[in-house]
A and B are shown apart, each in its own frame.
Chain A
């Protein structure tokens, strides 16, 4: 998205393609609608992302921004349905605001971006122990490091990550 905002058309195209795929899952999970209707909403969200792209703050992760737009458009869609006389149970709307696995997946991509800023040893240790959920011993064997070395790397890496995230978050 950052390079897209800078005007890189190819990057923007790829980015929108990925977003569309994510949105399809996001919408089908929340609404019982046919593929055509879901696609309509996907397109509406893409359009909103495009026309409102100046509201994306490049210092922030892009995922929450996209899903805030998607939720807003989804609720808007439900409201229109409601006006047309289709019953929409309130519980469904509340469900919209719940976190989903898919979103967690997208957040993971943001985490990967942050992880890239760490030294290799810390990055690999965190990836193995925290993301792949290997035991410290397994991780140590895989990376041919000592167990305490893995532990210290994880600890230091997490500390740095916490600082990076704090710097990323606006006051």
Chain B
């Protein structure tokens, strides 16, 4: 096809473009992803039996997780446009935030578990495995929305989507998680979100290409 013909076809097809905010659309995708995660966890595990007595702790854990998802949201929305990147300082701030959470959580843990051996040699808690699993539906929803846009920094975009999904998965898991110790939560929720971010950065360049 001649380029001029293509241009005519495209112009005929034009019509007003959708102009709603990418940020809002991404937020909606995130909510859908969260919804699927919550349904999944409630369906499989059921809400923890002592939910009503411990609503405050659950809310605290959910908020902790929501902070990560909320922090990654504007970054992901920005990266959805071509030619947009984020400064090194944004990535650094996010990384430093995560490290602080991990370290402070590590120090808050009960003394026995505070031994390095308790962490490294011990059994990996189920939270660390379930959170990424619950993040997967959220990641699928967000990635498939994201593909309709035009990110040009695919690894960064993938990482931001991974961090969002990780935060959302952790929010869903907070409904069933029986442990209320914030040290545990900081370390293992944090580690799970780090894992999700890393996976996102790895798969981003593969699945976000357009």
Query: Footprint of B on A, CB under 8 Å?
Result: 4-7, 9-10, 12-13, 16-17, 20, 39, 42-43, 46-48, 50, 52-58, 64-65, 67-69, 71-72, 76
Contacts and interface: CB of A to CB of B under 8 A. Distances in A.
A55 B152 contact: no
B161 to A, nearest CB: 16
Contacts of B12: 9
B150 A71 contact: no
Contacts of A53: 17
Interface stretch (B40-48, B75-83, B115-123): B75-83
A47 B19 contact: no
B50 to A, nearest CB: 45
Contact of B82 (A4, A16, A72): A72
B11 A55 contact: no
* Minimum-distance CB pairs A-B, first 5: A68-B83, A13-B11, A7-B16, A68-B82, A52-B150
29 contacts: A4-B14, A5-B16, A7-B14, A7-B16, A9-B11, A9-B12, A9-B14, A12-B11, A12-B14, A16-B7, A16-B10, A16-B11, A20-B3, A20-B7, A43-B6, A46-B10, A52-B82, A52-B149, A53-B17, A56-B81, A57-B81, A64-B83, A65-B83, A68-B82, A69-B82, A69-B83, A69-B150, A69-B152, A71-B152
Interface residues of B, number: 27
Interface in B1-48: 1, 3-4, 6-8, 10-19, 22
Contacts of A42: 3
Given A5-B19, A10-B11, 7 more contacts: A12-B11, A12-B14, A16-B7, A17-B4, A52-B210, A55-B22, A72-B152
Interface of B: 1, 3-4, 6-8, 10-19, 22, 80-84, 149-150, 152, 209-210
Nearest to A23: B3
Contacts of B80: 55
Nearest to A6: B16
A55 B82 contact: yes
Given A9-B12, A48-B150, A54 B7 contact: no
A6 B17 CA distance: 7
A39 B8 CA distance: 16
Nearest to B209: A76
Contacts of B150: 48, 52, 55, 69, 72
Given A9-B12, A9-B14, A55 B81 contact: yes
B147 to A, nearest CB: 11
B14 A47 contact: no
B19 A50 contact: no
A64 B1 CA distance: 27
